[in-house]
Structure 1
Amino acid sequence: MVVLPPAGTWVLLLLSSGFLLLFQFHGVGGVLNAEGKALLLFKWSITEDVEGTLSNWNASDQDPCLWNGVTCRGGSVVSLSVPKKKLLGILPPDLGNLSSLRHINLRNNRLQGGLPAGLLTGTRGLQSLVLSGNYISGPLPAEIGNLSYLQNLDVSHNSINSLVPPSLLECRRLRSLDLSSNNFTGPLPPAFGNSFVQLDKLNLSSNGFTGPIPAGIGNLSSLQGTLDLSHNNFSGAIPASLGELPDKVYIDLTYNNLSGPIPQNGALVNRGPTAFIGNPGLCGPPLPGPCSAGEGAAPPSFPYLPTDNSTPGVQVGNVDEVRTRRNLSTGQVIAIVVGDVAGIGLIALVFLYCYWRATSSAGKEDGGNSDKGQKGRKECLCFRKDESEVLSENVEQLDLIALDRQVNFDLDELLKASAFVLGKSGIGIVYKVVLEDGLTLAVRRLGEGGSQRFKEFQTEVEAIGKVRHPNIACLKAYYWSIDEKLLIYEYIPNGNLSTAIHGKAGMASFSPLPWHVRLKIMKGIARGMAYLHEFSPKKYVHGDLKPNNILLGANMEPFVADFGLGRLANIAVGTPTPHSNRMGTEKPSSQSSDVALSPILTSGLCYQAPESLKTLKPSQKWDVYSYGVILLEIITGRSPMILLSTSEMDLVRWVQVCIEEKKPLSEVLDPYLVRESDNEDEIIGALKIALACVQTNPERRPSMRHVLDTLDRVTATG
């Protein structure tokens, strides 16, 4: 028999157990302080912490000062620093409750969603906000102006899409501002630059800024390094005030819509043309194109002789008086004549000495043999051929030749480094090379032969080395000898797009890419290809665009690789190979039961346009077709050759058949994307672009620039 306690006892038991449950559930009721609670809300907003970085953030602690990434001073949280930990989640506004917070560093994670205004409202003492390399979207909140003590703002390499809020100008203590590689649009506030008297770093590159460059940027007297305004849509004239920047500042204005003469004053003087390329409307030095009469020449920066139309208040004599003042005195004329005579005499002496040395050395060596005498004269400094001509005729071995200023290693370091094979193809082996200082590179070995074509190779490889774009793999250096030819690239760590879409045999696990990452990849490839087609030094055609040579960076940003490689391989081995770099590729594993791979994939023909059957010479429209197939592959998750129950069908035709038969969208899409119903409009928009790219008639395909513009319009958050 069970004995029940009295009714009053039941009430006490219920109350005590309720309090216990509340205490256990919250875990923070009377133990963890308010700042710890705010940080726990951040932890709970993280849906994936693969490295267990936040594992010691426990509700049972009294305060969070011993938690990973948390720094306290005087018992208050002053710093939250958890960079490069692959944290997947969102930023909660509750971090704004950390009123003593001075530093936030969450760069290179996988944070999504918007930048909450609440975070910027509560942390008014914040000095450093670093969120670069995430997937943050939406606007930059106007509340950023509340951070009057902010010195470092870095939100680069995200997907922020808004105007720059005028309130940012209230952050007058800023020393470093990096908004690069986002989707910022519109003009900069007119007063931009006037407020940031302490700014020493400014990077606004790779956005969609429009309108004129504010003249106030020329007032940033503390700037150092590079003022990077490249890869935007800035228009109008270059403000002459930019010349007032410190001489040590490199001004990068490449790939905008700037026009008119380049001002010739201060920091803008003696800049090479590379600072201004990609602006067809610019003219005058240092660009080769002169300004037309209507545009006029840029004003000189040096004093000039006044004329009758000079500044009022300055008295100028008549023309004869001016001409008299410009006449040379008799002494000056004599000095010039004497100098000319002396110079001619010196040249004659050098010539005679050189001739005497050549003939005398030849006489000593062979008793006056005429053939060797001729050889001696040729070896004399006066008659020696240009060094590059000699090398191109008889190349045996050269040192490593850098194409990037940041290359600070030599051939010995490269050859002594640890090397791992990344892949093999018809155009050599690719190695992952790790130098002693930890620098990682990708080295492609082209093989032997072709010793007589160095000059041709040099011209081609150095042109490729000048191509610089955030979505193109950078060729950093090369090496040429009869026995060895190497191309040294930056190392891209996340493999290629084919593996990211389909996985790879032997992979321990495979996680399909979410839509926002796929969209980021689509746009990045389009940006890189639009640059190659329209703005690169030679307006390149890739000719072999496919997922295997789309490499993915640490934040899944795409890099177009291997452009121009076929041409270099032809020169290096000395025998012609197909222009399109048709090489063996690894077969990606299928993710669907009705999809299999055709042997044709090993030659990459599935990505080549129908006109490739008639000509081996690719065109830009050929690249557009290849890009369209890649888009279909990203959207459907299927390989470019599909095995049906009784036949094979290429991916382009399969999608067209699905549309003709009015199959539901869910049967066309990658099954993983079917669950992302909120993005259906964007997915359909991208599918339409892909179908436009793969039209049979090349003339009906859009340009890559038009593809990129359309992709930006139909997808608001990519």
Structure 2
Amino acid sequence: MAVTWFFYHRPHHLLFFSIIFFVLPCIAYSLAEPEALLKLKESFKNAEALNSWTPDTAPCARNTQWAGLICADGIVTGLRLGGMGLAGEIDTKVLAEIKGLRTMSFANNNFSGPMPEFNTLGPVKGLYLSGNQFTGEIPSNFFVKMESLRKLWLSNNKFTGNIPPSLATIPNLLELHLEDNGFSGSIPVINQSTLVSLNMSNNKLEGEVPASMSKFDASSFAGNAGLCGGKLGKECAKPEPPPAASTTPNDNNNNNNNNNGGNGSNSKGNGGSSKVVVAVSVASAVVLVALIVLFFVKSRRKGEEEHFDMPGKENIEKADHPDSVELNVSEIKQKEVVVDRPSSSKRTGNSSRKGSNNGKGGGGMAELVMLNEEKGVFGLPDLMKAAAEVLGNGGLGSSYKAVMANGFAVVVKRMREMNGMGKDGFDAEMRRFGNLRHWNILTPLAYHYRKEEKLLIYEYIPKSSLLYILHGDRGPSHDELDWPARLKIIQGTAKGLAYIHTEFASCDVPHGNLKSSNILLGPDYEPLLSDFAFGPLINTANVAQALFAYKAPEAAEHGRVSPKCDVYCLGIIILETLTGKFPSQYLNNGKGGLDVIQWVRSAISEGRESELLDPEISSTKGSLGEMEKLLHIGAACTESNPNQRLDMREAVTRIEQVQVLGSDHVPHTSHAPTLREGVGELPGETRLESNTIGSRSGRLDGDNDAAFSIS
């Protein structure tokens, strides 16, 4: 009573005591932050990377900030302890005392055991545990109280059991990565509209992919043999209906005998059931064979008309037995073309107009114009006799592989939208291509002009494209795609692009169509750029849809194109190659893939660069700093504002300065780095030179077979 009377007559004392009991504890927590962090360090093993965590310094001091911390206004808001070789336990009770903590990264360390109790840390927005040895099941209700969580990365661990259904209760989940674990059972329905990045590949999941996840491409669920539906291309088996009851007299008799318990009637019933089963099996087999034949016939008819919008359809997934098709060049009628027949063997410039059969035109048919005769001379009759297979369709036309009678393989591209110039102008541009010399570009061997469509003939490059090796191939070529090979590809691409910018400087967008499907790989992973400088040849009405450079923000939103659109495309190549992720920017419908630009920008702002790297290269000793440096260059090339984007010369210079091996020490910045940080010039310069001299076609000598990918 006395206490009540005291506060009633002296309310200002109540305010005073409220301050004492509620405000002072908050102050105490901020003062205890260093102690909490030091206690966290004590729970770790192999914590030499945290030697800067000492009692005599402040965690967020301007000049002595502790390694691995992200600070804002003197408060610890994030832990980025990835790749530090840490082990032991993660003391979540200590983490709960760091009230400003919002992001935590323990990725690529040696932590093990069950999932720590991170669910006691409600305000956390980002949790990154990839690349450890965590094991066991995660409780089904683990994420119920983690309503603030935006990004969850549990990939490359040893988790087992069902995927926690409580993930569906996180209202604003953006990224969910569970790949390379041992999760089993069915996929819970996770239908947050905010989810933009999902990967559940390489687990033991079964059943149908929920319809709410249909926007994600097949690679998000690959490596789960028991999954079906969605975009996996595998239909789910429908439950078989119960067998219909037989109403024949024999069956009725069998039923009566069964009711009487007769043994002989049992054998009769079993015989009747066996006949029914055999009949149903035979009928099902006949229907199945008929469906397969029907599907095969339809697929042959549609083979050339399909559009390859999704990853895996742009030369990623190669058919095991491609259909043999006829390259129908006989449709080119003599009256539709002007044939310039040389009166002698005299040639003009570097091109000649020849066909096979001693240069004859093949029954009055228009001839090919040879731009490069180093691989021999051939004509339309040779292509007509060649067995060809469809490689696919792209924004510019259809592509075919043709193997001629002498065994030489070429790729024939039928260009439907190349009517931007008349015949004389087109011939001049082709001769310009024939004069190019650089070992990182691939130019046509020959061409054929027709008013309605054109044929461009290239060498066939067997290793195929960067797109296929990165996202579609899981064989030896993919295994060889280590950090030195990827750096070689990026540096060679930059050199080839710089050469194109020099030779086609008058074009608004010198290359115009740089993407991983248009980067062919030679035998030693030397890149060959193809399908460049087509802008002036394409119909004005179709150029924006046909060329990838027009997806740069300034072009897509305002119709403004410049050489920096090519730089934007180069940046996507860098990010795609380093992360191993398929860019959603390649897709016309915006569904599937990953927005690598936004994903990388978000991670850089949180100081998580090392977590972006493809796990197949991130473990390369002594190179992590160089990889992150190149990652920053890619981010700087993809700035949405072209005025803030690197120009071509600066981008190439910085890319060439990246080395295969760098320092083992990865510097920790005292703030969230900007996109341009970490890409300053180095005192030395490393260049990856090829030991072979490029041929006139732009490919490497000694590569007898070559392979091509569609645009």
User: Smaller-chain TM-score range?
Assistant: 0.3 to 0.5
The normalised TM-score by structure 2 is 0.38
The normalised TM-score by structure 1 is 0.37
